[in-house]
Structure 1
Amino acid sequence: MNVLEVQGLSAAYRKNTALTNVTCSISQGSLTGIVGPNGAGKSTLIKTLLELHPRLAGEVTFFGSTLAKEKKRIGYVPQRGSVDWDFPTNALDVVMMGLYGHIGWLKWPKKKHEEKAHAALEQVGMTDYATRQISQLSGGQQQRVFLARALVQAADLYFMDEPLAGVDAATERAIMAILKQLKEAGKTVLVVHHDLQTVTDYFDHVLFLNRTVIAHGPTETTFTNENIEKTYGGAVRFIKEGTFNGHSRVR
């Protein structure tokens, strides 16, 4: 079953085209890396799908329905740089925000909600930082907290905008282990990703984007030199030694 269907999606910033005629289908239980050069519209795609940025044209369905009807089944981790980390709140409170759809905006959280938030922090290895102000956390720790906020929603479909950007190696491994656990549990995850070297290790599907979909499908058959060249043009250098499933490595 396809949990997300996108048909002819277009978006712009003022008079500058950001996305044009984006069409793709995302199947349930897939872990998809969205890759493309800077300015390709990767973050804009997620924001437009989630109606955080207006679309000019196109149709989008989630689980065969609308975003409004299926919102509780969707989790979102934004780019770390788009968050006001000076906001006076601690890690536990940030995670609790992911439960507002269940609690209600004008209601106090109950003990069960707090227990869920603590469990999510434990899942990302941040239990000891529950009462720490988010401004006092490192970049990798902040990213783990935002991942916990998404996890506590117990969503079926997750969008993650560069969750591995600027994190240390241990955090990267921890995040990817969690994303693979979500996939194994039948969840669907779409990740904006910037490192071509790790695509085949991290994702079972890859979506090449440069304002429109260049290629999309299983990583094994879609992550090819031809598609990389079509997407990145001359911006990519190939490493002769070593391969990605028989294809030249890229950096």
Structure 2
Amino acid sequence: MTEVVLKVEDLAASYRKNTALYDVNLEVEAGSLTGIVGPNGAGKSTLLKTVLNLHPALTGKVEYFGKSFKKAKKRIGYVPQRGSVDWDFPTDALDVVTMGLYGQIGWLKRPSKSHREKAAEALEKMGMTAYAKRQISELSGGQQQRVFLARALVQDADLYFMDEPLAGVDAATERAIMNILKELKSSGKTVMVVHHDLQTVEDYFDHVLLLDRKVISHGLTEEVFTKQNIGKTYGGNMRWMGDES
């Protein structure tokens, strides 16, 4: 039986007085690569932040590997939206990736040579070795995203959450990121990705979560990513991708 790495029951969240999520129930199995898809304002980023204790839940229960977030957090990696990061902070790419190891290093201790070697390996995996000493403010959007993904990789988590890692990147970076995500899945890791491009869902993800403040459907992409479910998710006013224009 496949392990359930994330279980969410009756989750609800709001911003000010506006309901962002309600009645969210789902189970995510180990070794899956899931695209989280829905219209603007559907609560996709809020879902990630709420299950990660970065935004308060109104109701609900979240378990990781059968445990609380506090007990499981060392097994969890997170890549927020690039736009939420202060890229003017004076630090270089290698230091940003090394920060992903602070859970192992300890905040008041200096990284060892082996820690820096791990960070350098993660940068190399993302094709960013030549930019290790480059200030992050000098990097392009795609390069910044590669650095941030390397920061998550170096944590060697079992479950990764990624908030639109493909937004605003060039085609080469998109391919590089998806190759890494598929490698993570192949090695038994579980990855959940907020994604906005419906055209690539079937190529990129083996599972899909259709969300519009509540779960519309969740499961294998070939079963869930249907014209009917997409219509429910986007209000029924969206032309199906395969239709003639």
Q: If the TM-score is normalised by the length of the shorter chain, which range does it land in?
A: over 0.9
| Cα displacement string for residues 195-249 of structure 1 (whole angstroms, at most 9, x for unaligned residues) | 000000000000000000000000011100000000001442224459xxxxxxx
Aligned to 1:10, the other structure's residue is in SS state strand
Amino acid at match of 2:100: G
| Cα displacement string for residues 70-105 of structure 1 (whole angstroms, at most 9, x for unaligned residues) | 111000000000001111111001001100000000
Shift of 1:167: 0.2
Whole-Å separation in 2 of the counterparts to 1:43 and 1:36: 11
Q: How does 1:72-151 map to 2 (within 5 A)?
A: 72-151=74-153
Aligned to 1:144, the other structure's residue is in SS state helix
Q: How does 1:1-251 map to 2 (within 5 A)?
A: 1-240=3-242
Question: What residue ranges of structure 2 are gaps of 5+ in the alignment?
Answer: none
| Cα displacement string for residues 22-58 of structure 1 (whole angstroms, at most 9, x for unaligned residues) | 0000000000000000000000000000000000000
Whole-Å separation in 2 of the counterparts to 1:35 and 1:237: 16
Shift of 1:158: 0.1
TM score, norm. by length of structure 2 = 0.97
Whole-Å separation in 2 of the counterparts to 1:207 and 1:86: 34
Whole-Å separation in 2 of the counterparts to 1:14 and 1:240: 39
Whole-Å separation in 2 of the counterparts to 1:53 and 1:236: 31
- Spell out structure 1 runs of 4+ moving beyond 2 A: 238-242
RMSD: 1.1
Amino acid at match of 2:200: T
Amino acid at match of 1:12: S
Amino acid at match of 2:226: T
Whole-Å separation in 1 of the counterparts to 2:13 and 2:132: 38
Aligned length: 243
Identity among equivalent pairs (%):
72
Whole-Å separation in 2 of the counterparts to 1:240 and 1:152: 39
- Equivalent pair of 2:230/2:236 in contact (CA under 8 Å): no
Whole-Å separation in 2 of the counterparts to 1:233 and 1:93: 44
- Equivalent pair of 2:126/2:146 in contact (CA under 8 Å): yes
Aligned position for 1:245: none
**Change beyond 3 A, Cα 1:93–1:235:** farther
Whole-Å separation in 2 of the counterparts to 1:235 and 1:172: 29
Aligned to 1:238, the other structure's residue is in SS state coil
